[in-house]
Amino acid sequence: MKKTQVFIFAILIGAGAIFIHSQQEVVLSIKDGMPVIPLAFPDFISQSSSQEIREFGKDLHQIVSDDLNYSRIFQLLPESHYSYIRPLNPKKIFFKDWESIQATLLLVGIVSESESKDFLFEGKIYDVKSSRFIFGKRYQSAKSLLRLVAHKMADEVMKIYGERPVFTSKVVFVSDRDGNNELYMMDYDGQNQTRLTFNKIIDYMPAWSADGKQIAYTSYRATEAGLYLYNPYEGVRKEVMSEGTNFAPTFSFNGKKLAFCSTAEEGNSEIYIANSDGTNIKRLTFNTAIDTSPSWSPNSREIAFTSDRGGTPQIYIMDAEGSNVRRASFGGSYHDAPAWSPTGDRIAYVSRVNQIFDIYVLNLRTNKIIKLTESNARNESPCWSPDGRHLIFSSNLNGTVQLYTIDYDGLNLKRLTSKGSNKLPDWSR
């Protein structure tokens, strides 16, 4: 535990080295299904003679480029288009040039070096057709935090369109890469994979709190599987419940409640809720069936869950107080692990057909179902990104169980992990 605390403390010291200066902000809006926005994104301009700073600029540009391409909102114009217009002059932008290559937005970046040898980065967004400055940010940071600065800038571009930040979000997951099932954390794109727990016991099923400061998880610290709250940034752990088997925690979107499963009272898996700090535990379900895998709706008023009360595992929805239970999945003999989208209109879940486990998405508005994964692999544990455009899940597609992301429509499958066996991901909000 001491090792974890020292590492996280070092991260916090480094994060304090970032200074952000804001300029005018204009918030636009975008809806799912709209055409992607053509974005001109020329190479960042270096105002330093240092080769190191120039290389930082190239790396920064690549990371922001990867982020915005991943967003499904922006289409970065090919670099070949820039050869048809005059070189960029940040002091005098010829918007007609950029309009001639069909750019809607222009993102300009300038990198330099401070007197303290930190790197400086300034990013500005312009609306090309109206020749209008939209937004700008200026960062001063330690060189070791290059990726964080890039992700912050990409998040700021997303927020212009009313989107939730994605690129500074974190994924917590379980890995046995060091010989034991422990909790790990990584960036949304699989970078900076960091071990959080150091035990000789099994840690399982982690879930982020709404504010991203705590992780609820199951730990076999005694003969039973207890439920714990853990602050990875302070190294503080708190027991919530240790009687019986406790598992599958999930925090409500409003940050007030924690739902989980427990066998504490009658030896049967039932769903409970508590305050987000683990106090005031209350049982929600009362039956002889197995109720498990709770998932909150974005308005925190409903909970989707799995139950075999009808004979086979199916997806059900109930109010947050445990009333008004109704079945959401029909057909098939096995549906499990519901994950409610942050947009509120979709639930992802796992379905088994002919011993093959795939991920499906139910559209709650149309009742239409799409099959997200299509392989002879075991695809499980879906979890949505903060903006609801992507999911992370585990799969043995390439032999060992690894984590992958995929877009909500089944496109852009990407592998994130490779060491050991990795599973049970949860994406921070």
Model pTM above 0.85: yes
Which is it for the CA torsion 87, 91, 95, 101, positive or negative?
A: positive
SS3 category, 335: strand
Residues of the chain with pLDDT under 70: 1-35
pLDDT at residue 30, rounded to an integer:
38
- Residue 34 has a pLDDT of 53
DSSP 8-class letter at 378 = B
Q: Encoding tokens for residue 63? A: 């990371």
**Quick one: pLDDT at residue 241?**
95
Sheet holding 236-241, edge to edge: 203-208, 215-219, 226-231, 236-241
The domains of the chain, with CATH numbers, are 18-160 (3.40.50.10070), 170-427 (2.120.10.30)
Q: What stretches of 114-244 adopt beta strand conformation (E)?
A: 119-127, 132-141, 170-175, 182-187, 194-195, 203-208, 215-219, 226-231, 236-241
- pLDDT at position 115: 82
What is the Cα–Cα distance from 323 to 371, expressed in whole angstroms?
A: 30
pLDDT at 141: 92
Helices 146-160 and 51-70: crossing angle, nearest 10°? 40
Number of C-beta neighbours around residue 21 at 10 A: 10
